[in-house]
Amino acid sequence: MSTYKKEVGTAVQNAAGTLSGVVEGQLWYDSTAASFKYQYPNVTSAGAWSTGGNMNTARYILGGAVQGTQDAGLGFGGYQPPPGFNNIAATESYNGASWTEVNDLNTGKAYMAAAGNQGAAITIGGQLTGGNTPISETESWNGTSWTEVNDLNTARSGLAGAGSQTSALAFGGENPPGLTGVTESWNGTSWTTNPATMNTARRFLAGSGDDNTTALAFGGQTPSTTGETESWNGTSWTEVNDLNTARDGLGGFGSSTAALAFGGRNPSVQAVTEIWNGTSWSEDTDLSTARMFLAGGGTSTSGLAFAGYNGTALTAATEEWLGAGQPVGAWSTGGSLNTQKQNMVGVGTAQTAALSIGGEIPPSNTKTGQTELYDGTSWTELNDLNTARAKGAGGGTSTAALTFGGSTPTITAVTESWNGSAWTEVNDLNQARQLVAGCGANNTACLAFGGEDPGTANFALTELWNGTSWTEVADLNTARNNLPGSGTSTSALGSGGYVQGGTANVGITESWNGTSWTEVNDLNTARSGAGSAGASNTAVLAFGGYGPGGDQAVTEEWNGASWTEVADLSSGRQRPAGAGTTTAGLSFGGGTNPGTSLTATEEWNNPSNTVKTITTS
């Protein structure tokens, strides 16, 4: 009898409802669910930084909750931009998309250390405005406000910190006229000076660690810039392997055995990122923007870097870190369309229930009204549109959809409604157009925006469908065509596109809140004719299109604040249709340059969908 162990060479692991200890590409038994599951091998090959929401106040030499996460950061104090260049007390909290101003520090300060997380943090030492005299102040954050607590025993600035609000370590820094290696331990109430000092006194260093018994100190100024790294065991410091790039004014976070070092200066501003594995440092993906005297928080696999000085000006920029080996989405092959075509419309919020509508059939690019339904495995032909066309848009589900605009080949405003079995013509768009974008929850609430009429170039026009008629609402900020639309009539995203007579392919992204459009962070790869999937303006997948170098396979995921590049389509293509969500999406059809149409369907699954239950008998 064939068994899993006999065929694969390893026994099935038993795990109680958790992936702890389960590796990618492994079959395992979930004893909580009493079922076999498979963990797909979809992980990042290298770390990556992506753009997050900007802080409200640009600054540098600030503090950050080092045990923060990508969706729970805390930044405080620092120097503000002119006029003044004064220390500030402003504190901001990050929710994974944007920063919110919360209660200030009691004293504006810079060059301080910090420990803890968004709900429980401390700020340690630093200096005040108007001089370089160090201070010993400690303030404690309870998630709402700061309270002054017991001071350091040795006042200093430019020091580093590690640990939590109740078990922290403060080390290094400056107490003019010299540098210091003094180390102090915090027990949640008071500071105790440890007999052992650092091997190398320094300032402007970074640190990581879980508590006051395990920590790592790296980089800094001795006064020459150094890459020296020291490890703390609760009693003494030991010199270990240096950073590959010596620097000071860098950011850092993590544990004593898995840390991240990023940014800094030597002597120019740095973007270098290095990861510590408990023994040595290795270079990983650089920050998108080089900067020094920034702050951050997190782990070696997931964290934040924010604010700092980029060599020209203070910045409010935030970057989010995802380390190597983390789960990411991946494309896999699905069932092919029945007819080779391109420039069709895709609708549907489920990977197992999506519609392909209309399009062009090569080689003559004959317009078609074909409608096909995908059930998660294969496509089935249903009733055709009343008006054959291509380059239109749509929204809704496989049982309640709307399609509008396009070319027949003349530009059209025709709108048709789908009830799950047949199409019915309803009231036209106010403006006929092709290469229009659209989205909607069903056939009674949709949005149409952008597009073109070759005679009048681009449109910024947005129209809202209420189930009976179209009404003009607020325009896009940038008129363009050939952009994908995702979401609903009250929460939509339009990304990329083509600006005629302007900058051609663009990465411009705009978010719709039901009333108006707001420009947000651009796609990383400017392009037109991409496909998309997503049910709101906070979670969207954009894939394919035409951009630098020709047909694109690149896929990017939007989290409500920024785009992150994820796994590519199997091949580059223009104007693929899309459906589904960022956890279970579809890309189908499309074309290549020169004009070859495709029947291929690809299915997207992201980390929350990389575990599959296996039926056994």
Residue 67 covered by a domain: yes
Tokens of 515: 């009333």
- Whether residue 326 has pLDDT greater than 80: no
For residues 231-254, average pLDDT: 98
CA distances from 13 to 18, 27, 609, 616 (A): 11, 7, 20, 16
289 shares its domain with 390: no
Q: Establish if 253 belongs to a structural domain.
A: yes
* Domain membership of residue 253 as a residue range: 49-322
**CB burial class (10 A; 0-12, 13-18, 19+) of residue 235?**
exposed
CATH number at residue 311: 2.120.10.80
Give the mean pLDDT of 174-194.
96
Residue 83: cis peptide before it, omega within 30 degrees of 0: yes
Amino acid at 328: V
Q: What percent of the chain has pLDDT over 90?
A: 74
Residue 10 has pLDDT above 50, yes or no: no
Is the predicted pLDDT of residue 83 greater than 80, yes or no? no
DSSP labels, 457-498 = EE---EEEE-SS-EEEEPPPSS--BS--EEE-SSSEEEE--E
Residue 44 belongs to some domain of the structure: no
3-state helix, strand, coil in the chain (%, to 5): 0, 45, 55
**Residue 16 pLDDT more than 90?**
no
pLDDT band at 249 (very low <50, low <70, confident <90, very high): very high
pLDDT exceeds 60 at position 55? yes
251 belongs to a structural domain: yes
Tell me: do 115 and 153 sit in the same domain. Answer: yes
Q: Is the pLDDT of residue 2 over 50?
A: no
Report if residue 234 sits inside a domain. Answer: yes
- 20: pLDDT strictly greater than 70: no
Are residues 19 and 67 located together in one domain of the fold? no
Mean pLDDT of the chain: 90
Mean pLDDT score, 212-220: 98
Please give the pLDDT value at position 491: 96
Asked whether residue 263 falls in the same domain as residue 380, the answer is: no
Q: Is the dihedral of CA 355, 360, 361, 362 positive or negative?
A: negative
Mean pLDDT of 50-78: 92
- Are 468 and 594 in the same domain? yes
Q: Which one of 306, 322, 338 terminates a domain?
A: 322
Residues 307-318, mean pLDDT to the nearest whole number: 94
Domain boundary among 279, 304, 322: 322
| Cα-Cα end-to-end distance for the chain | 14
Residue with the bigger pLDDT between 2 and 256: it is: 256
What single-letter DSSP state applies at residue 159? -
Least confidently predicted of 36-50, 297-311, 408-422, 534-548: 36-50
Q: What is the mean pLDDT of residues 538-562?
A: 90
Residue 118: is its pLDDT beyond 60?
yes
**pLDDT higher than 90, residue 247:** yes
Tell me the per-residue pLDDT of 398-415, one tens digit each, with 9 for 90 and over: 999 999 999 999 999 999
Query: pLDDT band for position 57 (50/70/90)?
Result: very high
Q: Given a cut of 70, is residue 45 above it in pLDDT?
A: no
Section 427-454 average pLDDT: 96
Residue after which a domain boundary falls, among 266, 287, 322:
322
Residue type, position 370, single letter: Q
For the chain, what is the domain count? Answer: 3
Q: Is 117 left (phi over 0), alpha (psi -120 to 50) or beta?
A: beta
pLDDT score recorded for residue 615: 52
Question: Has residue 407 been placed in a domain?
Answer: yes
Cα 487 to chain centroid distance, Å, stands at 18
Top pLDDT among 338 and 49 is at 338
> Are 557 and 518 in the same domain?
yes
Q: What's the rounded Cα separation, in Å, for the pair 346 and 356? A: 5
Do residues 114 and 186 share a domain?
yes
In a domain, 617, yes or no: no
In a domain, 616, yes or no: no
Residue 43 is predicted with a pLDDT of: 58
| pLDDT-based confidence at residue 161 (cuts at 50, 70, 90) | very high
198 and 234 co-located in one domain: yes
Asked whether residue 381 falls in the same domain as residue 403, the answer is: yes
In this prediction, residue 12 carries a pLDDT of 53
Q: Which of 366, 367, 402, 368 is nearest to 384 (CA)?
A: 368
Residues 264 and 360 in one domain: no
**Does one domain contain both 387 and 536?**
yes
- 393 by Cβ neighbours in 10 Å (0-12 / 13-18 / 19+) ranks as buried
Q: How far apart are CA 66 and CA 303, in angstroms?
A: 9
Residue 350 has pLDDT above 80, yes or no: yes
Instruction: Say whether both 13 and 71 belong to one domain.
Output: no
Residues 438 and 448: beta-carbon distance below 8 Å: yes
367-391: average pLDDT: 97
CA distances to 67, 167, 319, 576 from 64, rounded to whole Å, are 9, 16, 14, 43
Confidence check: pLDDT of 146 > 90? yes
DSSP for residue 522: P
